[in-house]
Amino acid sequence: MNMIQKLAAAALAGAALAAAGGAHAQTVTVYHDKPFYQAGWDGLTAAAKEAGIDLQFSAYTTDQFQAFIQSGLMSGDAPDAFTWWNGTKLEEIVESGQIAPLDDLWAEKIAAGEYDASAAEPFKVDGHIYGMPTGINRWVVMYNKELFEKAGIESVPTTWEELMAACEKLKAADIIPFNASIQEGWRGFVWFEELLIRTDPDAYVALNEGKLKYTDEPVRRVFEIWNDLYAKGYFTDPASQEEQLDFARGKAAMYLAGDWNIGLIEAGGLKPGEDFGAFIMPNVDPDVPNVVIVEASPLLISTAGAQKPEVMEFAKWYLSSDAMNAWATTPGLYAGNLKAKVPNEIIGQIADSAAKGNYRSMTRYWEASPSEIVLPAVEEMNRFMTDPSMETAETAMNNIEAIASQYWASRQ
């Protein structure tokens, strides 16, 4: 049974949303679960109007949104355009046969020099390209320059030992080192994936492919390191529902997050480059190759939408530098267009660091591992964050492995 079938019950709740979400005949409506980017959506709508495209956006909470999309896929009436996730999440809905391949459109844009071919890679399934980027985002450590200075930290940590030394200086200055929460229910995996790629990136890949158990040593080591960081008091209260604002308010000196958070932090009062910077977290083990988590968020066109001239006119325009400047600059996102403006100083610096360090991109856990495993696994990781101990970790590892082993056995 695939993910679309398993979410049948939840999809029924989305039917009402689908009925309520209709648009006028020539209007292109993009459905999404990212209302926090409203300023960007508004900028894109205004720019589209200037280009002669009648565009509107319709936002839902993530749970409602997923149910709405699944309802449309199950009924054979998927919306014309909507945002989604890459990796396994994209593979799951491409299986429905209702997502349009965009190979020709991408070939045109690459030939025009607007995109590098690598920008399309996160949106490929079985060799075909099924999405357009709303963001191609690296997961990095943002740091508050004023708090670093207050603690006497003179330079950005480049090794794990330097990072831990910085944490001790921050604690000595009564500053919490790291901001981390379970906000919106999905964030539990963030430190789990980061510590695993910083200790054994091959194990991370094997785990997501069902070739490593959640009770095996590489995973156990992650929980041991994670637990030790909690024991030392290095994290903020995980119950907060204002993660980006907490960092902007100075509740912690560092914040491990996707660089799509830069604009949200700026909205909280800190200026990127001036008040805060970012660095790629150093490896726990120095012999581990340079890797970084990359999250690529696609905008999809359904097969029904691809039959409508106004939808494909929008898709072609959306991949233009004009559209990307209107959309990505306000939220502070990098979306891959080579002719578009770099949205902020930090994005440019991180891109430069990744290129110079020859960093290997690794798909985020949320998209790299099957949904049937990810969703319950995140609940267990959330539980660990709210009650960090090796006893809680043991329970989490065993519970996740029970689900994972059953899933992979069903795929044989």
Tokens of 320: 């233009």
User: 411 near 405, Cβ under 8 Å?
Assistant: no
User: 282 near 163, Cβ under 8 Å?
Assistant: yes
pLDDT of 5: 44
- Eight-state DSSP code of residue 303: T
Tokens of 389: 């101990």
Distance CA 32, CA 41 (A): 10
Distance CA 226, CA 91 (A): 31
Specify the pairing of strand 55-59 against strand 28-32.
Answer: parallel
Residue 363 has φ and ψ, to the nearest 5°, of -65, 140
User: 373 near 400, Cβ under 8 Å?
Assistant: yes
Q: Quick one: residue 292, left, alpha or beta (phi over 0 = left, psi -120 to 50 = alpha)?
A: beta
Give the torsion sign (CA, 365, 371, 375, 376): negative
- Eight-state DSSP code of residue 235: B
The pLDDT > 90 percentage for the chain reads: 82
**Mean pLDDT, the chain, as a whole number?**
92
pLDDT of 328: 78
Under the banding of pLDDT at 50, 70 and 90, the label for residue 18 is very low
Mean pLDDT of 367-379: 95
pLDDT at 361 over 60: yes
DSSP character string of 272-293: BTTTEEEEPPPPSSTTSPPEEE
Note the pLDDT tens digit of each residue in 133-143: 998 899 999 99
User: 282 near 303, Cβ under 8 Å?
Assistant: no
Tokens of 183: 């906000």
Q: How many CB atoms lie within 10 A of CB 284?
A: 21
User: 28 near 55, Cβ under 8 Å?
Assistant: yes
Distance CA 57, CA 332 (A): 19
| CA distance readout (Å), 109 to 9, 129, 319 | 40, 13, 8
Residue type for position 11: A
Mean pLDDT of 198-214: 98
User: 365 near 193, Cβ under 8 Å?
Assistant: yes
User: 382 near 185, Cβ under 8 Å?
Assistant: yes
Domains belonging to the chain, first-starting first, are: 3-136+296-343 (3.40.190.10), 138-293+366-410 (3.40.190.10)
Under the banding of pLDDT at 50, 70 and 90, the label for residue 376 is very high
Note the pLDDT tens digit of each residue in 52-106: 999 999 999 888 999 999 999 999 999 999 999 999 999 999 999 999 999 999 9
Mean pLDDT of 18-47: 80
